[in-house]
């Protein structure tokens, strides 16, 4: 079983959106069963799941601590777990980072996000875990996007596929869906597929 932890000390960076989209894409690509864990008090991922009619991915609650929960999921045959975390340094966040095979850090190309990323990087570096940045809510032809990529490159790898600022992502989540499920041939579907392909390559999983 492999574990992806979404981490960012910046609220609104897109952890929940990427969590649900990558979980569904991983299932579509045959990497299931996939479990998702929501450790954020705002419970955005949990609310998305409850609005969903599909049986996958599976929402798992943390019971008896993160380590015991993950061991239980592995024993149950899950192949991938995606953990959504709050924008705070809690024990759940630390445990999720320590358990990760890959820490994915969503970053919007904004000065506030770039200033906040250092705290997340410090946590991941202390845990000595592989990390990657995913540029999220990117606007086309904005110079700040290129500047953000240059700034982030000093800290680690950047996913080559960017997630653009599209209403499709938020609109789909309202009904417990993902943008590619609503429009399989739309541009968002291509972005999510490319991001999962990169993440899968980092995990060594088939794409």
41 within domain boundaries? yes
Mean pLDDT of 19-31: 96
Domain membership of residue 23 as a residue range: 2-201
16 within domain boundaries? yes
* C-alpha–C-alpha distance, residues 132 and 105, integer Å: 6
Residue 90 DSSP class: -
- Residue 142: pLDDT over 70: no
Residue 165: which residues within 8 A CB-CB, separation 6 or more?
Answer: 137, 138, 139
- Residue 110: which of 156, 75, 147 has the closest Cα? 147
pLDDT tens string 190-207: 999 999 999 999 998 554
146 within domain boundaries? yes
126 within domain boundaries? yes
CATH of the domain at 19: 3.40.50.300
Q: How high is the pLDDT of residue 10?
A: 82
What is the chain's length? 207
* C-alpha–C-alpha distance, residues 129 and 114, integer Å: 20
Mean pLDDT of the chain: 89
pLDDT tens string 41-53: 899 999 999 999 9
pLDDT tens string 144-174: 677 777 777 777 788 888 899 999 999 999 9
Q: How high is the pLDDT of residue 18?
A: 96
207 within domain boundaries? no
Q: Omega of the bond prior to 57 within 30 degrees of 0, cis?
A: yes
The shares of helix, strand and coil residues in the chain, as percent rounded to the nearest 5, are 45, 15, 35
- Crossing angle for the helix pair 167-174 and 15-28, to the nearest 10 degrees: 80
pLDDT tens string 76-123: 999 999 999 998 878 888 899 999 999 999 988 877 787 777 778 888
- Residue 143: pLDDT over 70: no
Mean pLDDT of 169-196: 95
206 within domain boundaries? no
Q: Give the number of domains in the chain.
A: 1
139 within domain boundaries? yes
Mean pLDDT of 3-7: 96
61 within domain boundaries? yes
- Residue 87: which of 117, 61, 60 has the closest Cα? 117
Between residues 13 and 49, the one the model is more confident about:
49
* C-alpha–C-alpha distance, residues 156 and 153, integer Å: 5
Q: How high is the pLDDT of residue 141?
A: 62
Between residues 115 and 59, the one the model is more confident about:
59
């Amino acid at each position: 079983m492999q574990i992806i932890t979404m981490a960012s000390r910046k609220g609104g960076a897109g952890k929940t959106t990427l969590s649900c989209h990558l979980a569904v894409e991983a299932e579509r690509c045959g990497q299931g069963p996939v479990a998702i864990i929501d450790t954020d008090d705002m419970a955005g991922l949990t609310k998305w799941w409850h609005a969903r009619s599909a049986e996958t991915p599976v929402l798992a609650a943390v019971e008896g601590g993160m380590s015991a929960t993950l061991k239980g999921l592995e024993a149950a045959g899950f192949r991938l777990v995606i953990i959504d975390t709050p924008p705070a340094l809690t024990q759940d966040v630390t445990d999720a980072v320590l358990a990760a095979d890959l820490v994915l850090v969503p970053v919007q190309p904004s000065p506030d996000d770039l200033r906040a990323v250092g705290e997340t990087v410090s946590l991941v570096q202390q845990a000595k875990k592989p990390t990657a940045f995913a540029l999220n809510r990117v606007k086309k032809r904005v110079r700040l996007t290129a500047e953000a990529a240059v700034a982030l490159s000093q800290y680690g790898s950047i996913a080559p596929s960017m997630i653009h600022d599209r209403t499709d992502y938020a609109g789909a989540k309202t009904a417990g869906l993902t943008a590619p499920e609503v429009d399989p041939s739309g541009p968002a579907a291509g972005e999510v597929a490319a991001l999962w392909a990169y993440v899968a390559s980092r995990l060594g999983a088939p794409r």
